[in-house]
Amino acid sequence: MDALDVMANLSQVVPHYQPIFSADEHGVIGYEVLGRFQTEEGPVSLGPFFHDETIPEEFRMEVDDVITKKALDYFLSLDDETLLIFFNRDANLLMLDRGESFLQLLFAYQAKGLALDRIVLEINEQHFKGDLDQLSHLLTYIRTYGIRVAVDNIAEHSIHLERIGVLSPDILKIDLHELRKTSVHQAYQEIVHSISLLARKIGATLLYEDIETSFQLQYAWRHGGRYYQGYYLAKPGPEVVPRDLLKDLLRKECHRFIQQEKKKLETLYHISEQFQQRIAALLGKYKKAGGFNELISLLADELDDVCFRIYVCDEDGFQQSGNMFKRDGRWTLEPQYYMKNWSWRPYFLENIIRMRSRRRGILSDLYTDIETGETIRTYSYPIDERHYLFIDLSYSYLFEHDAHY
Residue 190 backbone phi and psi in degrees, to 5 = -65, -35
Nearest-CA neighbor of 37 among 1, 61, 88, 87? 1
The string of pLDDT tens digits covering residues 200-216 is: 888 999 999 999 999 99
pLDDT band at 233 (very low <50, low <70, confident <90, very high): very high
pLDDT band at 157 (very low <50, low <70, confident <90, very high): low
Q: How many helices (H) and strands (E) does the chain have?
A: 13, 16
Q: Give the residue-averaged pLDDT of 213-236.
A: 95
Asked whether residue 405 is domain-assigned, the answer is: no
Q: How far is 90 from 316, CA to CA, in rounded Å? A: 49
- Both 181 and 328 in one domain: the answer is no
pLDDT band at 155 (very low <50, low <70, confident <90, very high): low
- Both 212 and 311 in one domain: the answer is no
Asked whether residue 319 is domain-assigned, the answer is: yes
- Both 329 and 282 in one domain: the answer is yes
- Both 86 and 146 in one domain: the answer is yes
Q: Distances in Å between the alpha carbon of 172 and those of 30, 154, 236, 237? A: 15, 7, 20, 23
The string of pLDDT tens digits covering residues 281-336 is: 999 999 999 999 999 999 999 999 999 999 999 999 999 999 999 999 999 999 99
- Both 219 and 307 in one domain: the answer is no
pLDDT band at 194 (very low <50, low <70, confident <90, very high): confident
pLDDT band at 30 (very low <50, low <70, confident <90, very high): very high
- Both 227 and 96 in one domain: the answer is yes
Q: Distances in Å between the alpha carbon of 220 and those of 81, 300, 313, 396? A: 28, 39, 37, 26
Q: Which of these three, 214, 233, 252, is where a domain ends?
A: 233
Residue 188 belongs to domain with CATH number: 3.20.20.450
- Domain carrying residue 91: 3-233
Asked whether residue 264 is domain-assigned, the answer is: no
The string of pLDDT tens digits covering residues 349-363 is: 999 999 999 999 999
| pLDDT over 90 at 161, yes or no | no
pLDDT band at 92 (very low <50, low <70, confident <90, very high): very high
Q: What is the structure's pLDDT at 158?
A: 52
The lowest-confidence range among 46-60, 105-119, 144-158, 239-253 is: 144-158
Residue 160 backbone phi and psi in degrees, to 5 = -95, 10
Q: Give the residue-averaged pLDDT of 141-169.
A: 82
pTM: 0.86
- Both 109 and 229 in one domain: the answer is yes
Q: How far is 405 from 402, CA to CA, in rounded Å? A: 7
Residue 301 belongs to domain with CATH number: 3.30.450.20
Asked whether residue 258 is domain-assigned, the answer is: no
Higher pLDDT, 395 or 110: 110
DSSP string, 276-304: HHHHHHHHHHTTT-SSHHHHHHHHHHHTT
**Number of domains comprising the chain:** 2
- Both 200 and 284 in one domain: the answer is no
Q: Ranked by mean pLDDT, which of 49-53, 161-165, 166-170, 293-297 comes out on top?
A: 293-297
